[in-house]
Structure 1
Amino acid sequence: MSLHMRLAAAGSPLSDASSYVLGMPHLCPNGLSENWLWKELGHRHWNLIAQAYGRAAAGFGPKGGQPIYAAFRNISLHGGDLGGVRENDSLDVRSTITSLSETRVVSRHVAACRDRLIADVEMTSVFVRRQAEGVNRSIIRVRIEGPGGAEPSGETMASHPSYSRRATSAQDTFVDEREVGTMAIETCPHLDFNGAGLLYFSSFIAAVDRAEWHLVGKRSGLLATRERRAVFYANIEVGDDLTVRMLTAQDGTACRHRALLSASVDGKLLAEVVTDRMMA
């Protein structure tokens, strides 16, 4: 599919188009910063939800109740050419809600530079709230119903059927998968947690990148992301740490691996991330 067709296919009444002149906050040594991209697209995803429900200022849920958030269930990046941009380039991003219901939202984001595809991203979130104030392990899914209202769906994040299907299984991805090692990641509330007190979804990806740098080798610093897929199962409390177990398959031109992220405190599976990189 041509870039023009991709951009056209992404059009809908609930959409947003923006351009960014790329500077230091947007870049890393090998081109576009994937960490910046995830944070920016996460913000755009939230703004589209607020636009869809028409209550950006008031937020979601009844007054006095536990706040309701849009928690990412899975994200994917395809057609990645993050190494194809440099300082002062103009990055055009078209964001669109492609599916909206009272329980979940799917958005698509197409990033291009000089009519060349840089990233084609899809993000799925579900509505959640805490059952106990300040306790991330008490998060359950909820259903948004009417202006300001929400009803529990009766499901925890991990118990929902879509979470039990491993969208990023080794069998679907690699034939020669082998275990590389395990790395402990110490989280920091100033860097890794968002304003809702949750470990931010981009911090899961950052943890995988740190583990890759340590376990796979420094040659990974020469590579840029071509594909990334992640599915999220649970969150942790501020002060808890992560353990990243990495399995990899490599050839001469690419770095491909699957990472299992778990809570260091109890071993609970938090996320599964598949990465495919190539020379920038």
Structure 2
Amino acid sequence: MRLEGDDTPLTDACCHVLGMPHLCPSGLSENWLWKELGHRHWGLIAKAFGRAEAGFGPAGEPPVYAAFRRISLQGGDLGGVRENDALDVRSTVTYLSETRVVSRHVAACRDRLVADVEMSSVFVRRQAEGVNRSIARVRIEGRGHTMPAFGAMPAQPSGTGHVLSGHVTGVDERDLGTLVTEPCPHLDFNGAGLLYFSSFVAAVDRAEWHFLGKRSGLFTTRERRALFHANVELGDRLAVRMLASGDGAECRHRALLSTVDGRLLAEIATCRTKL
């Protein structure tokens, strides 16, 4: 992806001196990292389209947002950073079309990889004002350029099968149970009124803590993959069903997130290793 009339690749880089907002007891806060990279993803889109305001689309029409479809983290060494470390983050838009955007973010500390992240989003708009279940995918015509850097994009699944099965967790899964939570608008929803993608990941972490207890605190994320299908309304409850595998040296699980009436919202597969 390059800016129109400019031969410079569309990239962004920054450095964070890590303090309490960036950290958790096991090192870098993954929840903070997702929020930061989500913001950077949005900023690169706005830069590509020459817009800084919230939402895209014609004036007078409901805004168009970039909703995350897939996210992945690999090569994770979140437990390898401490307070006052300098975290360097370099972000690049690797694909841009009228419907989809993919960005890649590499976070490093002292020349050591902390996380290699890829994020894919689609443009969406509510078809009924204030109704999150009415969100539909849309195109932004006549803007941007197409430059796939890592080959063709993977095909989007047509159904709601367990498409992440085997990517992280393996085949010997055991059902740990289902945790039902109610997302809080002050904590879990973003400025567009949508349950933020990082809140889905946070719900899985809460379920892990619920089912594994103190053992969960011994691990740090090595790999995480998520596929998002739908969003929820304010007041909806979230059911997190957790299927786990692995041995004492690793914590592997796949979570199926749905509404309590069974509508699949997201699938998140996680691999953690001991600190």
Tell me the CA shift for residue 127 of structure 1: 0.1
2:127 paired with 1:113: no
Distance 1:184 1:238, change over 3 A: same
Contact map agreement 1:194 1:200 (CA 8 A) in 2: yes
Paired with 2:168 and 2:246, the residues of 1 have a C-alpha distance of: 16
Shift of 1:170: 4.2
Is residue 2:188 matched to residue 1:181?
no
Residue 228 of structure 2 is aligned with which of 226, 232, 244? 232
Partner in structure 2 of residue 92 of structure 1? 88
Structure 2 CA distance for partners of 1:24 and 1:131, relative to 1, 3 Å: same
Q: Which runs of 4+ in 1 moved over 2 A?
A: 160-167, 170-173
Match of 1:267 in 2: 262
Work out the CA distance in 2 between the residues paired with 1:74 and 1:99: 14
Asked whether 1:277 is paired with 2:272, we answer: yes
Select the structure that is richer in helix. 1
Is the 8 Å Cα contact of residues 17 and 93 (structure 1) preserved in structure 2? yes
Deviation string, structure 1 residues 24-61 (Cα, Å, up to 9, x no partner) = 00000010000000000000000000011111237410
| SS in structure 1 at match of 2:139 | strand
Q: Is the 8 A contact 1:19 1:92 kept in 2?
A: yes
After TM superposition, give the deviation of residue 173 of structure 1 in Å: 3.7
The CA distance in 1 between the partners of 2:110 and 2:19, in whole Å, is 16
Q: Cα–Cα, structure 1 residues 138 and 13, in superposed 2: closer, same or farther, change >3 Å?
A: same
Q: What residue in structure 1 maps to residue 151 of structure 2?
A: none
Segments of 5+ residues of structure 1 without an aligned counterpart are 1-11, 148-159
Shift of 1:250: 2.4
1:138-179 CA-partner distances (Å, limit 9, x unpaired):
0000000136xxxxxxxxxxxx94353644124874121111
Secondary structure (helix, strand or coil) at the match of 2:210 reads helix
Per-residue Cα deviation, 1:203-257 (whole angstroms, up to 9, x for no partner): 0000000000001232111110000000000000011110000000021211000
Match of 2:136 among 128, 133, 140: 140
Q: Assess if the C-alpha contact under 8 Å between 1:170 and 1:258 holds in 2.
A: no
| SS of residue paired to 2:222 | strand
Q: Cα distance 1:183–1:146, how it changes in 2: closer, same or farther (>3 A)?
A: same
Confirm whether residue 197 of structure 1 aligns to residue 197 of structure 2.
no
What do residues 77-103 of structure 1 show as CA deviations (whole Å, max 9, x unaligned)?
000000000000000000000000000
Q: Percent identity?
A: 74
Letter in 1 for 2:109: C
TM norm structure 2: 0.90
C-alpha separation in 2, matches of 1:279 and 1:58: 40
Matched with 2:3 is none
- Kept in 1, the 8 Å contact 2:94–2:103? The answer is yes
| Aligned pairs, number | 256
Q: Is it true that 1:220 corresponds to 2:216 in the alignment? A: yes
Q: CA RMSD in A?
A: 1.6
Query: Where in structure 2 are the equivalents of 1:1-280 lying within 5 Å?
Result: 13-57=9-53, 59-146=55-142, 161-162=156-157, 164=159, 166-170=162-166, 173-264=169-260, 266-280=261-275
Question: What is the alpha-carbon distance in structure 2 between the residues aligned to residue 96 and residue 162 of structure 1?
Answer: 25
**What is the rounded CA distance, in whole Å, between the counterparts of 1:169 and 1:134 in structure 2?**
34
Question: Are 1:163 and 1:233, in contact at CA under 8 Å, matched by a contact in 2?
Answer: no
The CA distance in 2 between the partners of 1:65 and 1:135, in whole Å, is 15
- Give the partner amino acid of 1:275: T
